[in-house]
Homo-oligomer: A and B are copies of this chain.
Amino acid sequence: MPHASLSSDGLVVSLTVDQQTTRFHAIWLRDNALDEATKSSSNGQRLIALRDIDSTTYISHAQVSAEALQVTFMPEQKTVSFPLHWLAAHAYDKPQTSSKGWLPHSQSLWDSSLMGQLPVADFDAVSSSPAALQTWLADIARFGFAKLNGGPIKAGALTQVVDLFGHLRETNYGRIFEVRVEEKPTNLAFTGLALQAHTDNPYRDPVPTIQVLYCLESSAPGGDNVLVDGFNAARQLQQLNPHGFDLLSRYCARFE
């Protein structure tokens, strides 16, 4: 049975569900109260500011009933109910990973062994099936990239790819950047030279989130696309040279 216990000063409730105990603080609960006077019932937005909460707020009574935690705030004498599933979703009393170089579990590191199983999807499939789109986007979130085959071959078609999940972020280059070989190149991207591994627009603030490279036509044979997992590179540096990794993670580097 879920149950709640209250600290003697009324400042902390310890909620135990399935033998897991999570703490919630009186001020936090009051600030996040779900009643209509605290949160707009029509749009979920908060109607009070922190300054509206008495700084001496404490809880005089806490109990679990009907899958909810009920607490009474003093000196307001206000009783508010929090569904247990809401508390579970918003619990903040859990171990935090703050070590340098941590990765969320949802992220996969990779190297060239990924070649045999590249994350790839089909344009028509992701355009028509929300499930296929979700799988493709989940691959991007997990690996940092994913291929997309079979898109329309016409100028600006990449904007249709962006429309699948977000919005174009314009830059000084305009809405899109045409990569093509030019006679008098002002950018290495306009030459036939092989480019080394690089990050585009690292000097931009904010830096790009997702970048879409869209091939309309390849008029010459050969040429490889090279992808590098920067997280894996960082992890390898951490293992090979912990001191170097520590230095790089503690000091801000300016772009140059």
**Chain A contacts to B: CB under 8 angstroms:** 32, 40, 42-43, 45, 47-49, 90, 96, 98, 167-172, 184-188, 193, 196-197, 205-207, 209, 250-252, 256
Contacts and interface: CB of A to CB of B under 8 A. Distances in A.
A96 B251 CA distance: 9
Contacts of A205: 209
A47 to B, nearest CB: 8
A47 B188 CA distance: 9
Copies of this chain, complex-wide, total 2
A45 B188 contact: yes
Nearest to A50: B196
Contact of A252 (B49, B96, B206, B250): B96
Contacts of A171: 167
Nearest to A195: B45
Nearest to A162: B170
A49 B197 contact: yes
B43 A186 contact: yes
A196 B52 CA distance: 11
Contact of A170 (B167, B188, B251): B167
Contacts of A169: 167, 169-170
A172 B197 CA distance: 33
Contact of A251 (B45, B98, B209): B98
Given A90-B256, A167-B171, A170-B168, A188 B43 contact: yes
Contacts of A256: 32, 90
Given A167-B169, A206-B209, 14 more contacts: A32-B256, A42-B184, A42-B185, A43-B185, A43-B188, A45-B187, A45-B188, A49-B197, A96-B251, A167-B170, A167-B171, A167-B172, A168-B170, A206-B206
Contacts of A196: 48-49
A186 B256 CA distance: 46
Contacts of A250: 98
